[in-house]
Amino acid sequence: MSETLQTAVIGVTGYAGAELARLLLRHPRLHGAPPVFAGRLDSRDAARGGIPLAEIHPELADSKGSGNLLMQPFSWDLLTDLDVKVLFLATPHEQSREWVPEALARGLRVIDLSGAWRLNEAVNREIYAFEDEGSANALKTQSEAVYGMPELHRAEIAGAQLVANPGCYATSIILGIKPLVAAGLVDLDAGIIADAKSGVSGAGKAPTAKTHFMYAADNLSTYGVFSHRHTGELLEQIGIASDAIVFTPHLLPIPRGILSTIYVRFHEPQTRAKVLHTFQSFFTGSPMVRLHEHGLPQILHVARTSYADIGFQLSSDGRRAIIVSCLDNLLKGASSQAVQNLNVMQGWDEQEGLE
């Protein structure tokens, strides 16, 4: 593919949008073709042609003039005129539901970071209360969506027009447990417990009472119990029934990172060598997953990296295991996974621009 592939990012103002911009601006395949940045602007900013990237994210200013790139007023004509081929949406799911069908109709390939198109089952989508749920247009678009986890769906992503980037919690938990479930080792009747903790950036940039410093600092709290939006992703991608897992998210008083502790029981006693081999076999050819052969992962070691780190320990009788899965929620849980999907879609090395 040409190194002058033109991409566009809608939704650069958020935390994930900033990381996505940083990765694309530095991607070795995109030299000479910085992303087009666009979004909704007020009349004052629209009149001056847009907002310089450095005003939105000063950390993106560099010696190449990246900070002078403008977030321009969004229009389909803009994308057409600039010959955009791949569109990244770091937008609320309502916006993605509206724009993705139009983007596909215009021949664009789309990588959507929202939850708009991740779920195949209507019962799992109910939590989003999509206004267009069940419409012919929505069902057609959903049928074209590929769940954007290369470790599971690499071949389908390569040819996809629409890639639905996974949720951050879902990425952590699916990577941690899917290999063992797929191998038939886990006793699903005994249930899986996924105890997951995320930094405050996982809640997005807009401040709320529970992400305010005075609430989150020096605190640890649960939320979304039995009702978190990522639950449906776990059920569909791991391939389990809703009563086979208990997923509890927690808010950590740190800026970024996720640590998921997953508790399972096996049908039969397992050795460490067999469990490790199961993980190694599943993740062969998956460069963004690092397996810990000794010790357990920590958020400190994945923060600001594009890796997911996975480790485990067995009980003395080999019947139970605790798996720990860590990642940066803004990177492997969002933006770097989106770029990883871009690499797969373009036939480039999967880790290019991410290590």
Classified as helix, coil or strand, 233 is helix
CA distance readout (Å), 86 to 58, 82, 112, 333: 25, 12, 11, 20
Contact in structure between 117 and 145 (CB atoms under 8 Å): yes
C-alpha 177/C-alpha 263 separation (Å) is 9
Contact in structure between 152 and 118 (CB atoms under 8 Å): no
Tokens describing residue 181: 């479930």
Residue type, 348: W
**Beta strand 70-73 pairing with 51-52:** antiparallel
The vertex-67 CA angle with 43 and 10, nearest 5°, equals: 55
Q: Which residue has the tokens 């954007």?
A: 148
Contact in structure between 169 and 307 (CB atoms under 8 Å): no
From the CA atom positions of the chain, what is the Rg in Å?
20
Q: Please classify residue 352 by burial: count the beta carbons closer than 10 Å to its beta carbon, then call 0-12 exposed, 13-18 middle and 19+ buried.
A: middle
Classified as helix, coil or strand, 143 is helix
Residue 3 has a pLDDT of 53
Contact in structure between 140 and 92 (CB atoms under 8 Å): no
**Beta strand 86-89 pairing with 289-291:** unpaired
Helix intervals (H) in 72-127:
76-81, 93-105, 122-125
Q: How many CA atoms lie within 13 A of 105 on its CB side?
A: 9
> What domains does the chain contain, in order, with CATH numbers?
7-165+334-346 (3.40.50.720), 168-327 (3.30.360.10)
Q: Please classify residue 251 by burial: count the beta carbons closer than 10 Å to its beta carbon, then call 0-12 exposed, 13-18 middle and 19+ buried.
A: buried
Tokens describing residue 130: 């999509």
Q: How many CA atoms lie within 13 A of 290 on its CB side?
A: 18
Q: Please classify residue 328 by burial: count the beta carbons closer than 10 Å to its beta carbon, then call 0-12 exposed, 13-18 middle and 19+ buried.
A: buried
Beta bridge partners of 162: 110, 145
Residue 32 has a pLDDT of 86
Active-site annotation holds for 326 = no
Contact in structure between 173 and 149 (CB atoms under 8 Å): no
If you write DSSP's letter for every residue of 169-227 in order, what string do you get? HHHHHHHHHHHHHHTT-B-GGG-EEEEEEE-GGGG-SS--TTTSHHHHTT--EE--TTT
Q: Can you give the pTM of this predicted structure? A: 0.96
Q: Which of 30, 79, 104, 168 is catalytic?
A: 168
pLDDT in tens, the chain (355 residues): 445 899 999 999 999 999 999 999 999 999 889 999 999 999 999 899 999 999 999 999 999 999 999 999 999 999 999 999 999 999 999 999 999 999 999 999 999 999 999 999 999 999 999 999 999 999 999 999 999 999 999 999 999 999 999 999 999 999 999 999 999 999 999 999 999 999 999 888 888 888 889 889 999 999 999 999 999 999 999 999 999 999 999 999 999 999 999 999 999 999 999 999 999 999 999 999 999 999 999 999 999 999 999 999 999 999 999 999 999 999 999 999 999 999 999 999 999 999 8
Residue 204 has a pLDDT of 84
Q: Please report which helix (H) or strand (E) contains residue 289, including its range.
A: strand 289-291
Contact in structure between 198 and 249 (CB atoms under 8 Å): yes
